[in-house]
Copies of this chain bind each other. A is one copy, B any other.
Amino acid sequence: MKILLVEDDKMHADFLHEIVENALPECNEILLARDGREGEELARAHKITAIVMDLRMKEQNGIEAARLIWARCPETRILFWSNYSDEAYLRGIANIVPGEATYGYVLKTATEERLRLALRAVLIEAQIVVDREVHQIQNRQMRSRSALTEFEYTILLDIALGLPDKAIATRRKLSLRTVQNRLLSLYDKLDVGALDQNEMGIVLNKRARAVSNAIARKIINREGLSSAEKELQAWLSRRSAKNALPPNP
């Protein structure tokens, strides 16, 4: 059995290597990749189906790498091992897990014992394991009043990228007014209430406020923004390709 570790911090990689060696005696080969791109290539080249993956890496982040890997090989088992329990990462992972895939999420602050258990459970037994702390955050954010629906979340990314209402409407196939209604509820959930915080004068720009609040609350992050940006660019070029034809006979 071969295992791939994807981790760009040398110290954590060494530590992980040692733990894996001890916890998984059935593993006879441990590969190491230092960023998402390399990880994805190694996984493909060596047909690896058991991976431990860091999320935040220089070249390509773990979510993007996992998406690509699962796209080719959905039965790959991936244990995410990360410092972060931001909503942005959780949502990012939730969006790419193929449904029948096996994965786990363990925080780097967890004890060695918990990490060992998760390694065996996910990579050997094909269980789903999510760190209790992460799961709590997931739940809390899901039920609190400020939980964003998928719709609100995508619209949030759209405005963060700078799409005007009309463009969002055409992109999401909604009417202009509906988009604005969604924005209304988004503003509500993100506490962008105009006059609430600053008792006197000065009404703030709701769009910008929503985005900065979302960033402050870790609902969105740089990685999520970047991948949303890529999708946007793809959509734009598809769109301009279509629009380039009609005017001609």
Contacts and interface: CB of A to CB of B under 8 A. Distances in A.
Contacts of A236: 197-198, 202
Interface stretch (A21-29, A137-145, A239-247): A239-247
B164 A200 contact: no
Nearest to A15: B11
Interface stretch (A35-43, A45-53, A90-98, A219-227): A219-227
Nearest to A167: B202
Contacts of A215: 215, 222, 225
The interface centre, meaning the residue of A198, A229, A240 with most chain B CB atoms within 10 A of its CB, is A198
A218 interface: yes
A185 interface: no
Contacts of A167: 202, 204
Contact of A160 (B12, B200, B212): B212
Contacts of A99: none
A48 B45 CA distance: 52
A71 interface: no
A160 B208 contact: yes
Given A197-B236, A222-B221, A161 B212 contact: yes
10 contacts: A9-B83, A162-B208, A162-B212, A163-B208, A164-B204, A198-B236, A200-B243, A212-B229, A216-B225, A218-B222
Given A167-B202, A211-B211, A212-B229, 11 more contacts: A11-B12, A159-B208, A160-B212, A161-B208, A162-B205, A163-B202, A164-B205, A201-B239, A205-B207, A208-B208, A216-B229
Q: Which A-B residue pairs are the 8 nearest by beta carbons? A: A162-B209, A200-B240, A162-B208, A162-B204, A162-B205, A198-B236, A200-B243, A167-B202
